[in-house]
Structure 1
Amino acid sequence: MSDGVEVWSGGVNTWECDEMGHLNVRFWGAKAQEGLAGLAAQLGMPRAFAADGEATVIVREQHIRFLREAHAGAALSMTGGVVEMGETDARLILVIRHPDGRPAATFQLVVEHVTSKEMRPFAWSAPIRERAAGLMTKVPDFAAARSIDLSPVTSTASLQRALGLDLKRIGLGVIGPAECDVFGRMRPEIFIGRVSDGVGRLFGETRPGPASLAEDEPQPRIGGAVLEYRVLHLAWPEAGDGVELRSGFAGCDARTRRVIHWMVDPQSGRPWASAEAVVISFDLDKRKVVDISQAAQEVYRAASPKGLAL
């Protein structure tokens, strides 16, 4: 078993950080996609993400864990490896680390080997399988699913069902050319990036925090962060395609809330992507997770539609 091979190295730009003061999920995802290209090159597909490439890999599913913040100016590096490989698909692991070696974020990616233009699946070649054998690795404990079930699932997302569940619209727009890859398809990080842009409409202006403090205690500044994501990529919008995001709560406890996000085509109603997220309230000064009050928990449970899932 390998520990993985370095597939990317870089850092955090100020403009990649959000109002919470740390690297935004969109840019964690963008760096992971660069790492995926680096891992594809290690597997013998150096042109997998080039316009003239005849074969590529598309991301069918992502499991993401955010373990430690990264702030503007931080240096990061990434290793990648192969967890398992099927006839045309594979499960890959990417680990982003701080310079001291501590993991910052992990991405388990279920990918499929396809023709670049038609996205027709076809078998991995013998040379790729040979290279993959030297990159086989286990999912480290810190990257394993913690609060999200990774069992096979069929998405229930659609605009019609979103309307029936009264899910809140948190985004509406059109995919632009700059949001697409060289093949003209929406890049994977755009989905969670657009969720991040619109999630304030779901949570409101203030994030829930602890029960009321004493009058002489300063009220903490409360923000929010995601701990874990499961993302299903169901279809790939192109430049000019409409996208609508509908979201709702799916339960909570004292520390976390579970949220479901669906990206759908506002015209046809078909789903583009679906995600389950585990989110926290976050003390912006202490940079620590905070419990939310019992009253806030009850509000979230009451607002969680029955049957809402990926």
Structure 2
Amino acid sequence: MIDLWKGSANTWDCDEMGHMNVRFYVRMAFEGIGVLAGQCHLSHAFKPESPSTLIPLEQHIRFMREVHPGRPLSMKGCLLDVSETGATLYQELVHADGVPAASFRTRLAHVGSDSLKPFAWSDRSRDALTTLIGEAPAATAPRGLDMSKAAASSESITREHAIDEGVQVIGLGMVPPGDCDAFGRMHPHMFIGRVSDSVPNLLYDWRKKIAASVPGSEMGAAVLENRIIYRAWPTAGDLFEIRTAMASAQEKTHSLVHWMLDPVSGKPWMTSEVVAVTFDLKSRKAMATPPALLDELATIAPGNLYL
């Protein structure tokens, strides 16, 4: 694997849980993708005048150890496969002691920067990418999500379906220019960021009840895994809404499916499935959910949404 990024988390990258917010993991990963592009004769890929660029189609993230402000971090990666117009990249964000903070498996497409249509690698880029093919360690493999499950077609993801299922809106807003990249499209890390901002509207009171059942605890939350399907790219001024339904619930973990939709067209910007825990901010451990509250989650996050 090659070095793709080095740095640390800033205090302002961390949220009310005292650890780095999920959006900044993804931002670091995409800076690493830029470094990879430079290693493969594509240093122009993220500049506004570039004829081609790289976009994510799908991404799996596994969060394994908290990141706190000021601690040294580094990222390495390799290619898992390379096709005529795409590649799958493995990245590992690592603490100074060698313990992984997170792993990323991202299916990338090389596309025309305006059309977003597949764009064949040049011979020298493909040759360089091929030399970086390696193997991801088993210890960071997907754990709580079934990666063999095929994602639904974008045509089947509709606002009308979510409304019919009684799935509530937990996030709503407009994409500002500052959230967009050199091509005017929303940064990838803002998809997961907007979901992170919206989840308290759904789960804050429910998690408070869980914390109340554990004497001496302080309520928090943490994401363990996330599988994201990037479906379309909003630009400045586009609107979005986030609708969320429960996928499953166990004593210590719960899974949610999020749909980020265009409320104007009814079509999806992104869908994701998340495994999360209610987190004790004092012990920094997951808290068990009382059985009655497991049943309650189905009532506050109703409906059938699919990835």
Relative to the length of structure 2, the TM-score reads: 0.94
Q: How far off its partner does 1:76 sit?
A: 0.8
User: Contact conserved, 1:211 with 1:293, CA < 8 A, in 2?
Assistant: no
Aligned with residue 45 of structure 2, among 45, 48, 59: 48
Aligned with residue 222 of structure 1, among 219, 223, 242: 219
Letter in 1 for 2:152: T
Q: For 1:96-130, what per-residue CA distance to the aligned partner results, in whole angstroms no more than 9, with x for missing partners?
A: 00011111011111110111122121222221221
Query: C-alpha distance in 1, partners of 2:216/2:169?
Result: 30
Match of 2:189 in 1: 189
Letter in 2 for 1:154: A
Match of 1:169 in 2: 169
Query: C-alpha distance in 2, partners of 1:86/1:252?
Result: 38
Match of 1:68 in 2: 65
**Structure 1 residues 218-227 or 20-29, which shifts more?**
218-227
Local SS of the residue matching 2:220: strand
Match of 1:109 in 2: 106
Q: How far off its partner does 1:211 sit?
A: 8.2
User: Contact conserved, 1:260 with 1:276, CA < 8 A, in 2?
Assistant: yes
Aligned with residue 153 of structure 1, among 146, 151, 154: 151
1:128 maps onto 2:125 in alignment? yes
Q: How far off its partner does 1:186 sit?
A: 0.6
Letter in 1 for 2:41: G
Letter in 1 for 2:158: S
Match of 1:90 in 2: 87
User: Residues 212 and 243 (structure 1 numbering): CA distance in 2 closer, same or farther, change over 3 Å?
Assistant: closer
Query: C-alpha distance in 1, partners of 2:51/2:301?
Result: 45
Local SS of the residue matching 1:166: coil
Match of 1:59 in 2: 56
Q: How far off its partner does 1:204 sit?
A: 2.8
Local SS of the residue matching 2:210: coil
Q: How far off its partner does 1:306 sit?
A: 5.6
Query: C-alpha distance in 2, partners of 1:276/1:19?
Result: 22
**Structure 1 residues 285-294 or 59-68, which shifts more?**
285-294
Say which structure is richer in helix: 2
After superposition, residues 202-281 of structure 1 pair within 5 angstroms as: 202-207=202-207, 208-209=209-210, 212=213, 218-281=215-278
Q: Which runs of 5+ in 2 are unaligned?
A: none
Local SS of the residue matching 2:247: strand
Query: C-alpha distance in 1, partners of 2:169/2:305?
Result: 15
Letter in 1 for 2:81: E
Query: C-alpha distance in 2, partners of 1:111/1:24?
Result: 23
Query: C-alpha distance in 1, partners of 2:62/2:269?
Result: 22
Local SS of the residue matching 1:209: helix
Query: C-alpha distance in 1, partners of 2:93/2:86?
Result: 23
Query: C-alpha distance in 2, partners of 1:253/1:211?
Result: 18
Local SS of the residue matching 1:186: coil
Q: How far off its partner does 1:269 sit?
A: 0.6
**Structure 1 residues 12-21 or 119-128, which shifts more?**
119-128
Local SS of the residue matching 1:80: strand
**Structure 1 residues 273-282 or 124-133, which shifts more?**
124-133
Query: C-alpha distance in 2, partners of 1:290/1:212?
Result: 9
Q: How far off its partner does 1:166 sit?
A: 1.4
Q: How far off its partner does 1:89 sit?
A: 1.6
Q: How far off its partner does 1:139 sit?
A: 2.1
Query: C-alpha distance in 1, partners of 2:212/2:181?
Result: 46
**Structure 1 residues 96-105 or 293-302, which shifts more?**
293-302
Query: C-alpha distance in 2, partners of 1:164/1:282?
Result: 33
Letter in 2 for 1:98: H
Match of 1:199 in 2: 199
1:37 maps onto 2:38 in alignment? no
**Structure 1 residues 97-106 or 113-122, which shifts more?**
113-122
Query: C-alpha distance in 1, partners of 2:190/2:27?
Result: 8
Aligned length: 303
User: Residues 211 and 298 (structure 1 numbering): CA distance in 2 closer, same or farther, change over 3 Å?
Assistant: farther
Local SS of the residue matching 1:228: strand
Query: C-alpha distance in 2, partners of 1:244/1:284?
Result: 29
Task: Report the aligned-residue RMSD.
Answer: 1.6
Relative to the length of structure 1, the TM-score reads: 0.93
Q: For 1:209-232, what per-residue CA distance to the aligned partner results, in whole angstroms no more than 9, with x for missing partners?
A: 37845xxxx431121110000000
